[in-house]
Chains A and B, each alone.
Chain A
Amino acid sequence: MKFVDEFREPEVITKTSAEIRRLADPNRHYRIMEVCGGHTHAIYRFGLKDLLPSNIELIHGPGCPVCVLPMGRIDDGLAIAQNPDVIFTAFGDMMRVPGTLGSPLEHKARGMDVRIVYSPADALKLAEKNPDKHVMFFAIGFETTAPSTALTLMRAKAQGVHNFSVFCNHVTIIPAIRAILDSPDMRIDAFIGPGHVSTVIGCRPYEWIAKSENKPVAVSGFEPLDILQSIVMVLRQLKADKATIENQYKRVVPWEGNRAALRAMAEVFELRPYFEWRGLGFISQSALRLREGYGEWDAERRFDIPGVRVTDPKAAQCGEVLKGVLKPHQCKLFGNECTPEHPIGALMVSSEGSCAAYFNYEHRKTAMVTSIASAA
């Protein structure tokens, strides 16, 4: 696969890992946060932690749009779809996330019309094909995905498709990063920036992290060499006591972002005054909703939703894991009450949630290493 395989070349990966080892100061413990859930997933999938020296700690940030969605919002979306004329559509990522009365897939098993779509455009097409039904699209995602929802809504309006609405849960990344840095119990040395969000917002929005917080940022791609090169970049900056924004993912990320995408978002969305983030609490100006002009396609305006706040069980420590304060296995429920088969929180359900990633990929590796060590 072009533009994929090159960045997985074993010899170059070995070279880059060697460079990381060369740069890492053995007397220093580095805490590097990768913000985006896609990076969390890639790190586990490619086993990149195996290639790093033990004094480099990768911390998983809150960039997982499924993980930060409060349960109440899932309940709201499903409440809308209780109406037999409504078809509930969402990305596959949402399908097993537990609401109070079960996940979308569980609702499907009980007779609700629930369908997986790969694209919001497919949800709109479904509405066109089923004029006697109403198609509701449960929209999630950061700025990577929001422009596609926006464009879909613009097309719905232009084409006069009225049996279509969006339940909007798009959130923005910068407030989440701010919340992390404002957290008293956080110590982060550098950031691996979300490469795909940056194809939309560009690199400028991170400048305050370097200027005011004095932390290096490398806006990173998602292949092994991208992530490893980003680590090289921030290590070099830390070594030289520098803090700037670097665009590691040059081949795809334009420094100024994607103007057409930003225009589409501005046309369709506005910022909510505040929005609740699971584990991080209420954050102002951190989420999107449809503008007045698109009110007709806003599921929240068209339907009555319960709007009930559902708090996580006291024992669940999703918030601390989301912020990187705790490692997944340090949460009391991890591996016992909370597993991928019966998840309590979204971090265990989402394929890029740190708990699911840790449970699926890492958990038994640690046990293996421990048992080999103790047998030695």
Chain B
Amino acid sequence: MCLAIPGQVVELFPDQPHTAVIDVVGVRRKVDLGLLADNLPLKGEWVLIHVGFAMSKISEEDALDQMRTLRALGEAEAAMQEVQGYGLEESEIPEHSEFPKFPEAS
């Protein structure tokens, strides 16, 4: 149930608003945009494809944010060790945690 791949919208059809051609490193297929009818993607945007249907848009911002967070792992630890080395109080490095986010009112 879970094989879904990111693809980029490379072609749209003005007379068929629920159809697009997506590209996955050079492989192309027509997909159905019906499930994104409330927020149709534009050319160049990235979507998640499952069984020939676009399921969701992919947020580049969230992807970058995730990578930033992960790359920073270990740096908090290193910073903590440095602080400890000075004999200061163990500082409370905020844990990264996702609290429920509510979507903006449409």
Q: Is B17 an interface residue (CB 8 A)?
A: no
Contact B2–A196 (Cβ < 8 Å): yes
Query: Chain A nearest CB: distance from B48 CB in Å?
Result: 5
Given the complex, which residues of B lie within 8 Å of A260, measured CB to CB? 34-38
Contact pattern, A 1-44, Cβ under 8 Å of B = 1, otherwise 0? 11110110100100110110010000000000000111101000
- Knowing A38-B3, A196-B1, A260-B34 touch, does A253 contact B56 (C-beta < 8 A)? yes
Q: Is A225 an interface residue (CB 8 A)?
A: yes
Return the contact of B70 from the options A12, A200, A252 (Cβ within 8 A).
A12
Number of interface residues of B (CB under 8 A): 45
A:140-184 near B, CB below 8 Å: 141-142, 144-145, 147-148, 151, 154-155
Contact B52–A119 (Cβ < 8 Å): yes
Q: Is A120 an interface residue (CB 8 A)?
A: yes
Name the CB-closest residue of B to A13. Answer: B70
Query: Chain A nearest CB: distance from B82 CB in Å?
Result: 16
B:48-68 near A, CB below 8 Å: 48, 50-53, 55-56, 58-60, 62-63, 65-67
Given the complex, which residues of A lie within 8 Å of B103, measured CB to CB? 254-256
Name the CB-closest residue of A to B55. Answer: A199
Contact A352–B46 (Cβ < 8 Å): no
Return the contact of A196 from the options B37, B55, B62, B99 (Cβ within 8 A).
B55
Given the complex, which residues of B lie within 8 Å of A252, measured CB to CB? 48, 55-56, 58-59
Q: Is B25 an interface residue (CB 8 A)?
A: yes
Given the complex, which residues of B lie within 8 Å of A91, measured CB to CB? 51
- Knowing A145-B51, A250-B98, A260-B37 touch, does A6 contact B56 (C-beta < 8 A)? no
Query: Chain A nearest CB: distance from B53 CB in Å?
Result: 4
Name the CB-closest residue of A to B61. Answer: A251
At the interface with chain B, which of A240-248, A354-362, A367-375?
A240-248
Given the complex, which residues of A lie within 8 Å of B13, measured CB to CB? none
Interface bracket on A: 35 or more
Tell me the bound Cα distance from A211 to B4 in angstroms.
Answer: 30
Contact A248–B50 (Cβ < 8 Å): no
Given the complex, which residues of B lie within 8 Å of A253, measured CB to CB? 56
Contact A63–B70 (Cβ < 8 Å): no
Contact A196–B50 (Cβ < 8 Å): yes
A:219-239 near B, CB below 8 Å: 222, 225, 229, 232-233, 236-237
Q: Is A292 an interface residue (CB 8 A)?
A: no
Tell me the bound Cα distance from A246 to B101 in angstroms.
Answer: 9
Contact A2–B6 (Cβ < 8 Å): yes
Contact B35–A203 (Cβ < 8 Å): no
Query: Chain A nearest CB: distance from B25 CB in Å?
Result: 5
Q: Is A365 an interface residue (CB 8 A)?
A: no
Contact pattern, A 265-281, Cβ under 8 Å of B = 1, otherwise 0? 00000000000000000
Return the contact of B53 from the options A15, A19, A151, A195 (Cβ within 8 A).
A151
- Knowing A12-B70, A145-B51, A225-B70 touch, does A1 contact B24 (C-beta < 8 A)? yes
Given the complex, which residues of B lie within 8 Å of A258, measured CB to CB? 35-36, 55-56
Greatest chain A CB density within 10 A among B1, B34, B51, B59 is at B1
Q: Is A324 an interface residue (CB 8 A)?
A: no
Name the CB-closest residue of B to A171. Answer: B1
Q: Could you list some 13 contacts between A and B, CB below 8 A?
A: A6-B63, A38-B3, A118-B51, A119-B52, A120-B52, A196-B1, A199-B4, A199-B48, A237-B97, A250-B62, A258-B55, A258-B56, A259-B38
Given A244-B99, A253-B56, A255-B102, 5 additional A-B pairs, CB 8 A: A15-B73, A18-B74, A118-B52, A119-B52, A233-B97
